[in-house]
Structure 1
């Protein structure tokens, strides 16, 4: 199923296709962990039913009132404002080939801000977001940020011999010095964009890397390094000796 996020970010009700998927979904028995883009979108629609003058049509309003507004993130949202200091016009691109030279493909791509089907943000706002994760602000929002960072359990990854420790959306790991590390990555694969956020509160360090290139495990970034490794190398430059105890978990490509 494709396009299931479009209605959420455009403040429209869920499509009939998504509703049918929900109605036919059977909760699986407890078992292995698997990344789920549609799971995140489902949570987004659930939120629109919780606060509500206009249920199902208010995701961006809720985001601004309860999260980005209190954090001072005035340049974050699904609809781009021309005044934002954002890298407008970036075209995303991805690799269609699993063999060198990894042909770059432009497919269904529009410049940054060309759609309302994802969230856009700026460097300034990402710094504010990272700061709030490193040291949660006072008040209700701060307590909720702290809640997202609480360990919810460790789960085996489906089809692999590894495991993932989860907070609420955060994937939790440690470095070799015992510091807790929070990570979240994602991609619009055929849209050609990829991003990762890594936060190490005990080091008062957070890094966000945004890329307009997407290459899955079969491809190689033209620079020879992907966003995840870039973020880790930035942290290791700031804090020599920093190294994760296990590889970053892979996100699910989102077409």
Structure 2
């Protein structure tokens, strides 16, 4: 059973963040466990290169390493990911990156008519630098707002519900694929050159059938068109054999 860690950047409305997280948990396909990852007690400053990693950061890195993969949801804050999300990722790579060869699926979260492209570009760059195996196309965005949920937290937006299920299905499939092919760092590859293997086998080529293939000739003869014409005028014209012009 693949275990996927859910890491969410804070949406503009705290209620929407909480309800969207609940929807993603409910959308997880059978056989997949989604666990929420929330860093706590991290230092307010970024990692130092000349100081030991504090205990809270070591615990955060351990939690990231325990999951099979990550699903990261980000809104757009000033054309980038939220500072709290960037801070958590900064500590994830402190001393030694806990994201190296970790399968990661990313998605934006935005209200209708508000894009998330720049945040996804920023997030993909941060994760790639950290050594994560980020799932490529398609870029996904959850169109979410507080009015999509009832007072009891039920999602009554068919579009958002469908987006959540499609995202979790893709995330589960990607993480399971990376784990199945050998764990982090073992993406599938072609073990040998197929053309070289065929040539090394020295298998004789199939013989052509005896019938059905026309024979080829090295020479061909074309009849003189004047010799076969029935035109009496052309038959009486004398031609110069050198130039081909009428004599």
Larger radius of gyration, structure 1 or 2? Answer: 2
Q: What band does the TM-score fall into relative to the shorter chain?
A: under 0.3
Q: Which has the higher strand share?
A: 1
Q: Which has the higher helix share?
A: 2
